[in-house]
Structure 1
Amino acid sequence: MSDFLLIHGSCHGAWCWRDVIPALEALGHSARAIDLPGHGEDKTPVGEVTLEAYADAILAAIEAPVVLVGHSMAGFPITAAAEKAPEKIAQLVYLCAYAPAGSVSLVQMRQAAPRQPLLPALEKSADGLCFTVKPDMAREVFYHDCPDAAVAFAIPRLCPQPIAPQATPLAVTERSRALPRDYIRCTDDRTIPPEYQVTMTGGWPDHRVHSLRTGHSPFFADPQGLARLLHDIAGAG
């Protein structure tokens, strides 16, 4: 069985994995999630949050090699962690995530998408250091297919998202590319266009690309299905 470390996306925290962790444990795995700096219970000031700090927080949470799962923007932090210490990672899993290639930033990748469904829901802070998601639009972009109780749980917990980590280019090399890498596309995603998820995985081996028929938050929309898919992915190595 595998040890999963689950990494949240923009504006979220470890709390978003509350339903997936027990589902993975029921399948015989160990699973845990962390708050990245400036998210959830972590009180790092927004102006001090960097992509490197994200990577360091992930690596500090690892003792033995893990299956490292990154949702959405966390595709960058998990890749940055793999570039710094690939020996700590057994496998990378990108869950409807940005899969960096070359030496670009997440902002540049987002701008390259054919559509920008998230942008109308974002509000930039006066100091330009972070953005938040407008509460009245959060369900539409993040949780449209999630149970009402999960949406009520999630929206009050959304936090400001530091911009600096997303504006930082990441040089991707064989240190991370040599690791087993899988991608889970979410076919009804209203945050990262599904067709862009296809573009990002162009050239990936077919057996490394998987699909869920959910929106952007499968951890709430279908936690059991997500856990079963992660179980299968980890078993295939």
Structure 2
Amino acid sequence: MDSGKEQRRQQHHLVLVHGACHGAWCWYKVATVLSSAGHRVTALDMAACGASPQRTEEVPSFEEYSRPLLDVLAGLPPEEKAILVGHSFGGLSLALAMERNPDKVAVAVFVAAPMPAAGKPMDVVFQQQDSQAKEERPVDVFMDCKMETSSPLQIFMFGPQFMKKNLYQLSPPEDLTLAVAMVRRSRRFQDDAMLTQAVLTAERYGAVKKVCIVAEDDALLSVDIRRQMASWNPGTEVMVLPGADHMPMFSKARELSQLIMEIAHKYT
């Protein structure tokens, strides 16, 4: 085969979506590996996250929070499909984008992320997470995280000690230092219709290929619950990333990058 054609065939458009309180900056290691391998990488800041100029209070809904991702998919050329990679809370933005533009997604990769089910409200995943957290850490579950409630908004931000113990416990200390300096206040949108109503359909969201990457040493949510969520979506491939905490883009950056590239080649 012509080497030029083979190189073009192997190039993919990878869209990276961060989790709560984080931003596009958290993908700096993975984005570097992927782009160095010749792939096109789009790392997004969701509304009021990362370098976004918006304030959390200015984002009226989960749909508007996810607008950067929705706009990227809507703007793709007719023949192009993207590989979506969502971390943690970013998995819910992936789900909404898949429902809106299923024909624009080659495969969706959920990295240490909740995976909602077609026909169920997306906030069911919060019930699973909160139930486990209270069972395993019944006292001071959220440690030094900051919570603000001003109806109808509930805003929170991860605390340094919570991040060190539950998110970054296996990550390089310099990446925890970076994260503590960069995280921003965020919302869970508990009362948002996009999360409380069954907006995901089997015909659209359910039809998109999905891969669940489970971080083996994720202290935020157990491997069993990640697998259970994946089982809600028939045909989902589950991959386990050994030695990874909740932030595998830091704790196992090269291994995660390799998995993403393997998935891209397999599903496109």
TM-score normalised by the chain length of structure 1 = 0.91
1:91 to 90, 107, 111: 107
Aligned to 2:69: 58
Is contact 1:47-1:129 (8 Å) kept? Answer: no
Is contact 2:212-2:236 (8 Å) kept? Answer: no
Aligned to 1:2: 12
How far does residue 97 in structure 1 lie from its aligned partner after superposition?
Answer: 0.6
Aligned partner of 2:146: which letter? E
CA distance in 2 between counterparts of 1:48 and 1:137 reads 26
Distance 1:82 1:179, change over 3 A: same
1:125 to 123, 144, 148: 148
Distance 1:226 1:45, change over 3 A: same
CA distance in 1 between counterparts of 2:30 and 2:190 reads 26
How far does residue 203 in structure 1 lie from its aligned partner after superposition?
Answer: 5.8
* 1:74-98 Cα shifts (integer Å, max 9, x gaps): 1111110111122222211111111
Is contact 2:210-2:236 (8 Å) kept? Answer: no
Is contact 2:47-2:65 (8 Å) kept? Answer: yes
Aligned to 1:104: 121
Is contact 1:40-1:159 (8 Å) kept? Answer: yes
Aligned partner of 2:212: which letter? Y
1:32 counterpart = 2:42: yes
1:76 counterpart = 2:92: yes
Aligned to 2:247: 217
Q: For 1:19, what is the secondary structure of its paired residue? A: helix
Aligned to 1:229: 259
Aligned partner of 2:248: which letter? P
* 1:153-207 Cα shifts (integer Å, max 9, x gaps): 1111111111326853252112111111111011100112222101111265677
How far does residue 13 in structure 1 lie from its aligned partner after superposition?
Answer: 0.3
Unaligned runs of 5+ in 1: none
Q: Which structure has the larger Rg over C-alpha atoms?
A: 2
Aligned to 2:8: none
How far does residue 2 in structure 1 lie from its aligned partner after superposition?
Answer: 1.1
TM-score normalised by the chain length of structure 2 = 0.81
Q: For 1:172, what is the secondary structure of its paired residue? A: coil
Aligned partner of 2:218: which letter? D
Aligned to 2:214: 185
How far does residue 26 in structure 1 lie from its aligned partner after superposition?
Answer: 2.6
Is contact 1:56-1:81 (8 Å) kept? Answer: no
Aligned partner of 1:22: which letter? T
- Over the aligned positions, Cα root-mean-square deviation in angstroms equals 2.1
2:56 to 27, 37, 46: 46
1:199 counterpart = 2:228: yes
**Structure 1 vs Structure 2: percent identity of aligned residues?**
26
Unaligned runs of 5+ in 2: 1-10
Is contact 2:30-2:256 (8 Å) kept? Answer: yes
